[in-house]
Structure 1
């Protein structure tokens, strides 16, 4: 079987690099790259600072990979050709050259929620700052930064992170950032589970080509953006992106209803022995918890009730799809970064009205069990795991999210009791 390359796939030549991406992974390749492919005049130079194998494989495949779109029937495959170059993070010279180029109009980022809270030369924010510094030295062409991670007001979060990282820089450089670097707010949504060996075999069957970097995703995709693009942008709307004036209500809906439910299922579901999202929503206890969570979140959401009802129905269909085996372990990573945005706003609003909502309590109880009993992937794992295994664990763990939670004795007791309930239910 022939290896996937541009000649073997009869793909068009690489487009000129006009966009740079940091965080080369499955979600970027299922989302921003697919949208960019809709505009043949824009190519992406994609970088990853976590993985050296993926850029090597993509380079061997001329930047191409197959995208499997899975619903409940036979998966469909297409070849994505938007990545013109793929680079490991060690290719610093090329990274700086790309960010300095006046031909490059924008930088997209998928660096996870935790990536915006870490600065320093070796971090994603440090790399972006170095690239901006080089761009300023090379003439200072404007650029748009487009974060695509699940954070409320992610453009503002990125702006604040860059400002903090640049605090010790020269005034002229800091002023240039304020005047010539735009920060675009986005809402992104497409479920993209980790690729398996079976997915690689399926890619070969569907395309007739050997692809060592396939991506699996669902039919649904959403991208909402608000902000300025001083040097232009791809025609992302050709692939369904929408440009709006205010994203706040949509951010809230996505973070609370989709991401919040995912977090609930990841922790409570794992505690009850489930491994994937579709398995979890078939579990009667978890299905009830998910509906309860959406009921509670609806009381505090900004969008009209009919919009929320329609969104809930679509989420349930997406979660139940057998075509997407979204692993709960993957979703459970970085809980200390996700829970404050996805769960706590609703919980605080409920506690302010003296209610004790079951679903957020179940989420926190499941997270406590996760920290105590499972392999933890979290930037604060060294701090959290010992606390979860110590005396007075619920109070000490929850205080790391919000000090005020430690003063809510009723909540602490409820979380402790629910953790025991989950343990007994798991048998």
Structure 2
């Protein structure tokens, strides 16, 4: 028999004072930043999501608590995470503005996906952040650190530019405050966190003895690298293993290309070959060879020692192969138009500049084309891209929408077309 999860039933500490706000209350935040923040009992998080109301309602009923299942090769383990002091849906606009205006709040972390940094209208994530910062400026202008935790190279700089663009029509004193009193922290984040299933809910109850309607499943590995200033302080994230470094660029390249790039390759080429999860795909002989080939190519353009990259590759292979965390390819395949430019295209461009035609990134683009054509597609540019993928001359037209220079590369267009056919024939042989 299980007991409803609350702070009283779990004998957890009272909610910590809210000193951090988070935007993007999903599984990754709860498996990553919330766990790191839990290491400092003086910091509580007010977490917001503008995508749904059900998750914050469930968390509110559980006093912000949830269970984190860590699954490796052995038996799963579970811990109750208590860093979220309050959980709010997007409709709590007044509370959102009040939290960001409060001088007690020292930082805002974000997990809004790569696509979230593009919009600047009022209802977008950037629009909501700008509204919160505008209110903070009017309330006295206490400094604040913004900590984006999405897979974008130089994500702090990306956020700064997105807010600059959104604030172009604002008053000069507010724009100056954004430059002088708002700190933009660069980060590299890493922890594989698949979508939660009903089976995970049942397992959470077995492991903890509590009825938890918002459990999270993740892997043992976790990484958080940060570079930037925190003018009003920060949680002691280093107690949970976070590292603060002067230059993140090479680590961001390593992670985006080796982990995220391989995930993207497997999501598109793997789906085209009938695979459903990362662990299944990485065991497929064709996809295993493509993954190794991708890592070989990426290593040529990642300025880290060969031994360090070899070790990182080996650890990734073990993580990908683990059946403890089954990461669905359809989840990774979302938002390809935002992910491919950061994860795959820089390496492909570098290879084409020296007249090489590497198979792995070509396979990723071919798989993406098949994904757009056959769906289902979750992408902010789906209405534009899906018709192109189903038209004549699809490869050139889709590549042109991604980058006109790619469409001008006749050799690349031909290679993608050939690989679409290659994947189709391979899938037929398998079936």
1:320-335 aligned at under 5 Å gives the runs 320-335=321-336
* Secondary structure in structure 1 of the residue aligned to 2:99: helix
Question: Counterpart in 2 of 1:61?
Answer: 62
Question: Counterpart in 2 of 1:354?
Answer: 355
Q: TM-score, normalised by structure 2?
A: 0.99
* Pair 1:389-2:390 in alignment: yes
Deviation at 1:374, TM superposition (A): 1.3
Question: Within 1, Cα distance between the matches of 2:356 and 2:228?
Answer: 38
Deviation at 1:326, TM superposition (A): 0.1
What do the CA deviations read for 1:30-82 (whole angstroms, capped 9, x no partner)? 00000000000000000000010000000000000000000011000000000
Question: Counterpart in 1 of 2:90?
Answer: 89
Deviation at 1:87, TM superposition (A): 0.2
Question: Counterpart in 2 of 1:110?
Answer: 111
* Secondary structure in structure 2 of the residue aligned to 1:223: strand
Deviation at 1:243, TM superposition (A): 0.1
Question: Within 2, Cα distance between the matches of 1:140 and 1:40?
Answer: 26
Question: Within 2, Cα distance between the matches of 1:299 and 1:144?
Answer: 35
Question: Counterpart in 2 of 1:295?
Answer: 296
* Pair 1:35-2:36 in alignment: yes
Deviation at 1:2, TM superposition (A): 1.0
Deviation at 1:304, TM superposition (A): 1.1
Deviation at 1:401, TM superposition (A): 1.3
Question: Counterpart in 2 of 1:220?
Answer: 221
Question: Within 1, Cα distance between the matches of 2:375 and 2:139?
Answer: 49
1:13-24 aligned at under 5 Å gives the runs 13-24=14-25
* Pair 1:281-2:282 in alignment: yes
Q: TM-score, normalised by structure 1?
A: 1.00
Moved over 6 A (4+): none
Name the count of aligned residue pairs.
427
What do the CA deviations read for 1:368-390 (whole angstroms, capped 9, x no partner)? 00000011000000000000000
Question: Counterpart in 2 of 1:157?
Answer: 158
Question: Within 1, Cα distance between the matches of 2:137 and 2:299?
Answer: 46
Deviation at 1:163, TM superposition (A): 0.5
What do the CA deviations read for 1:2-43 (whole angstroms, capped 9, x no partner)? 110001111000000000000000000000000000000000
Deviation at 1:302, TM superposition (A): 1.2
Question: Within 2, Cα distance between the matches of 1:373 and 1:424?
Answer: 16
Question: Within 2, Cα distance between the matches of 1:423 and 1:232?
Answer: 54
Question: Counterpart in 1 of 2:146?
Answer: 145
1:233-248 aligned at under 5 Å gives the runs 233-248=234-249
Deviation at 1:303, TM superposition (A): 1.1
* Pair 1:75-2:66 in alignment: no
Question: Counterpart in 2 of 1:205?
Answer: 206
